Structure 1
Amino acid sequence: MKLLLIIDDYLPHSTRVGAKMFHELAIELHLQGHQVTVITPDFQQKDILNIDHIDGITIWRFKSAPIKDINKISRAINETLLSIRAWKAVRHLIKPDTFDGIIYYSPSIFWGGLVHRLKKVCHCPAYLVLRDLFPQWTIDAGMMKPGSLIEKYFRYFEHYSYRQATRIGLMSDKNLQLFRELHPDYHCEVLRNWADLQPVKKDDLNYISIREKLNLTNKIIYFYGGNIGHAQDMANLMRLAKKMQLFEHAHFLFIGQGDEVELINKLAEEWNLTNFSYLNSVSQKVFKNILSEVDVGLFSLSAQHTAHNFPGKLLGYMVESLPILGSVNKGNDLQDIINQHNAGFIYVNGEDDLLYEAAVKLYSDSELRNVTGRYAYQLLCEQFSVTSAAQLIVKLFEDNDDID
């Protein structure tokens, strides 16, 4: 089949988990014999459309204004224009037989217009990979007022995007339950996050060890990699780093971008943390190499969330057999999944003492780190393989009864 993937961020320029996941999905679909095209924005190119290829995947990059790491008003405007700019760039390439199926990723919530036009021409089904219940999480966090004009604006595009989907994939059972309560009229199912199961092969002679670079040779490294923003409640992990200063060889390394970078650096300075380092985003290749060197994978979710996310960063930790340590919002089934499979230690955000006690255990016991990490990789293989995700999505396109 000829399949189209749509996402607002893609390789090789992106350092985000969503871009990595979608490229892994594209490669898996290609290996299964499908012809794969990706539509994605690029704010650096001058031409309205550029076409290139990576790993056998055809990529249509359309010219866009920036939508990442800019102020909220500019981002909202530029994301609103994504579908318009994309269709203007690619419409001359679209014929009735161009695509047999569409897979689009949210965030962003603004792909509905493009998907609508593509479905109308190609008469094919569309699968929405829904990873973020926006704007709900901003309301939960107190960043957006319920019933406000801006909420109504975002809700319109959110529902328009949902209406274009023949089926919607949510990342967990609890998320599926919540989504059905909020939006009972859509066809949806659990589509877990996924990852390529192969650990990194250190064959890059130019790569400089992060331990050598930061003088962390004898340290136990607690690593956080990914978005550093309000949804993560990064102060939660900074409190843990502060408590762990008692242990000479414990070090916390955070890498990423987001609107709480200033906060974590400010807290590190105020608390005079000597066991903390922050680095800006790095390439996916460097990121994978760093994962192969650290000891514990950290994550945090805001206690205010009503949605139950499974952060994609955890899969990167699991690929490298890292024990997982983190906090979730109350009721998140991620806590049961990780804890029951002995893949890590997950607590409700706010249970600082329990999080600290687990961090100390992992610091003190190398065998515990090794065993827990092996269970994490085993869980990845059982429930989060990219092959399983691809097969579930493709099933929709193969089943004519599900096509509108």
Structure 2
Amino acid sequence: MNILFITVVDIESVTQRGIYTDLMREFRDRGQNVYIICPRERRYGKPTEYIEDHGIHVLKVRTGNIKQTNPIEKGISTILIESQFKNAIKKYFKDIRFDLVLYSTPPITFEKVVRFVKARDKCHTYLLLKDIFPQNAVDLGMIRKGSLLWRYFRNKEKRLYDISDFIGCMSSANVEYLLKHNPEINPQKVEVSPNCIKPRPLLHINKSNKEFRDKYGIPNDAVVFIYGGNLGKPQGIDFLLEVLDYIKNKENFFFLIVGSGTEYGRIETHLKQNKHKNVKLLSFLPKDSYDKILESCDVGLIFLDQRFTIPNIPSRLTSYMEAALPIAAATDVNTDLKDILIESGCGLWAKSGDIKGFINIIERLASDKSLRIQMGLNGRAYLEKYYTVSKQYDIIMSHFK
């Protein structure tokens, strides 16, 4: 089969590790012909380019800036990318007939691209639903429900669902939310297709890496809590800063924050002004470097804004599970992340905003090494059973045999 994957992720190489590149390599390794269309943002100053990368065809389309830019430019670029991708497909893929189109949210503005390919090639379509927009923006106070902008994006969202033959959601709560708020969707075409990766071998679970601790100024007896990934509005940064202030003078705690996003500067300023000594902030790192850091940490952290009404499952969950890290999570009450942590036995949960409740769970993890190790191994086992790209491939392709 000829498979087209449409994504807003800037894919430097298909060899890089991540939920999408891992899945595309799985499709390739299972005998499918894989084509990817992705953005090449204007900031890099490079033209559109069509290459073959390790047996996968990649079309990098010059677009406006989408990541790490102001909301106005991001909004304009997100709207324009639809026509840019459509024109690129007409030019570079005019002789290719696709059997299946895969695409993910965000963004929701691929509907016309998907519709064009589906009509031209009479192919199947599968949406990997990672984000429910515009409701997430409503939850965070960025868009007013009922406004002209909301109506525009809500219409795009509904049309994207309509053109999709199948919709893969990250969790059971995702499925329930989608069907409840979009009753016109046929339940038979909606299923759970979670964030998945191709796990690396688990080499060790000994976290006492002296070289790592010396490099970042971490005391030898401190328990290292890591928060890695996007540092933006959805992550509930206010609560993260409250937690950091609360543990400021606790010498047995060390927080390592690794990532990038709109709130990075705010976190950096807060740490400098309050003279935090047991917190280290690092900017975005390549995946391989980040993975090495994870291997030397003790606990993985997950934060989500308490205002969310949509069930989010952050992709960093699989990164922590892969590294056999126990998880301490503070989220809204609508996500079923709490249920996943309980079912897998891999972590502890508190409601975002409940500072005492969250401090209790991180103190419990800090004081009990055997609990940390057992929860970490539980998470790794759960990952290998449910969250591998091999499983996800089977879920998707079960519809097209």
Q: How do 1:146-225 residues align onto structure 2 when only pairs under 5 Å count?
A: 146-186=145-185, 187-199=189-201, 210-216=212-218, 218=220, 219-225=222-228
For the residue of structure 2 that corresponds to 1:221, the secondary structure is strand
2:80 corresponds in structure 1 to: 81
Matching residue's letter, 2:41 = F
Shift of 1:95: 4.7
Question: Structure 1 369/201 Cα, relative in aligned 2: closer, same or farther at 3 Å?
Answer: closer
Shift of 1:94: 3.2
1:235 corresponds in structure 2 to: 238
For the residue of structure 1 that corresponds to 2:247, the secondary structure is helix
Measured against aligned partners, the alpha-carbon deviations of 1:133-181 in whole angstroms (never above 9, x if no partner) come to 1110111122211111121222222222222211111111111111101
For the residue of structure 2 that corresponds to 1:81, the secondary structure is helix
Q: Moved runs in structure 1, 4+ residues, more than 6 A?
A: none
For the residue of structure 2 that corresponds to 1:397, the secondary structure is coil
Measured against aligned partners, the alpha-carbon deviations of 1:194-230 in whole angstroms (never above 9, x if no partner) come to 111224779xxxxx96534322262422111111111
For the residue of structure 1 that corresponds to 2:52, the secondary structure is strand
Select between 345-354 and 371-380 the one with higher mean Cα deviation. Answer: 345-354
Q: Distance in 1 between matches of 2:76 and 2:212?
A: 38
Instruction: Work out whether residues 65 and 78 of structure 1, in 8 Å CA contact, stay in contact via their aligned partners in 2.
Output: yes
TM-score of the superposition, structure 1-length normalised?
0.91
2:311 corresponds in structure 1 to: 308
1:8 corresponds in structure 2 to: 8
Instruction: Work out whether residues 200 and 292 of structure 1, in 8 Å CA contact, stay in contact via their aligned partners in 2.
Output: no
2:60 corresponds in structure 1 to: 61
1:124 corresponds in structure 2 to: 123
Q: Distance in 2 between matches of 1:94 and 1:225?
A: 37
Gaps in structure 1 of 5+ consecutive residues: 203-207, 399-404
Measured against aligned partners, the alpha-carbon deviations of 1:334-376 in whole angstroms (never above 9, x if no partner) come to 1022023220111221222121111112212222211110011
2:35 corresponds in structure 1 to: 37
CA RMSD of aligned residues (A): 2.2
Instruction: Work out whether residues 326 and 346 of structure 2, in 8 Å CA contact, stay in contact via their aligned partners in 1.
Output: yes
Q: Distance in 2 between matches of 1:105 and 1:306?
A: 20
Shift of 1:46: 5.7
For the residue of structure 1 that corresponds to 2:398, the secondary structure is helix
Instruction: Work out whether residues 13 and 53 of structure 2, in 8 Å CA contact, stay in contact via their aligned partners in 1.
Output: no
Gaps in structure 2 of 5+ consecutive residues: 205-209
For the residue of structure 2 that corresponds to 1:238, the secondary structure is helix
Instruction: Work out whether residues 119 and 125 of structure 1, in 8 Å CA contact, stay in contact via their aligned partners in 2.
Output: yes
For the residue of structure 2 that corresponds to 1:60, the secondary structure is strand
Instruction: Work out whether residues 49 and 90 of structure 1, in 8 Å CA contact, stay in contact via their aligned partners in 2.
Output: no
Measured against aligned partners, the alpha-carbon deviations of 1:36-85 in whole angstroms (never above 9, x if no partner) come to 11110102566653122334322111111111111111111111111211
Question: Structure 1 227/315 Cα, relative in aligned 2: closer, same or farther at 3 Å?
Answer: same
Instruction: Work out whether residues 10 and 20 of structure 1, in 8 Å CA contact, stay in contact via their aligned partners in 2.
Output: no
Matching residue's letter, 2:53 = I
Instruction: Work out whether residues 11 and 38 of structure 2, in 8 Å CA contact, stay in contact via their aligned partners in 1.
Output: no
Give the % identical residues.
Answer: 27
Instruction: Work out whether residues 106 and 132 of structure 1, in 8 Å CA contact, stay in contact via their aligned partners in 2.
Output: yes
Instruction: Work out whether residues 10 and 23 of structure 1, in 8 Å CA contact, stay in contact via their aligned partners in 2.
Output: no
Matching residue's letter, 1:3 = I
For the residue of structure 1 that corresponds to 2:305, the secondary structure is coil
Matching residue's letter, 2:22 = E
Q: Is 1:277 equivalent to 2:286 in the alignment?
A: no
TM-score of the superposition, structure 2-length normalised?
0.91
For the residue of structure 1 that corresponds to 2:301, the secondary structure is strand
Measured against aligned partners, the alpha-carbon deviations of 1:101-149 in whole angstroms (never above 9, x if no partner) come to 0100100111111111111111101101011111101111222111111
> Could you tell me which of 291, 307, 331 is aligned with 1:288?
291
If asked which structure has higher relative contact order (CA below 8 Å, sep 6+), I would say 1
2:23 corresponds in structure 1 to: 25
Q: Distance in 2 between matches of 1:368 and 1:246?
A: 24
Q: Distance in 1 between matches of 2:35 and 2:334?
A: 38
For the residue of structure 2 that corresponds to 1:371, the secondary structure is helix
Shift of 1:97: 5.4
1:100 corresponds in structure 2 to: 99
Size of the alignment, in residue pairs? 390
Instruction: Work out whether residues 140 and 305 of structure 1, in 8 Å CA contact, stay in contact via their aligned partners in 2.
Output: yes
Q: Distance in 2 between matches of 1:125 and 1:143?
A: 34
For the residue of structure 2 that corresponds to 1:103, the secondary structure is strand
Q: Distance in 1 between matches of 2:362 and 2:274?
A: 19
Shift of 1:315: 0.3
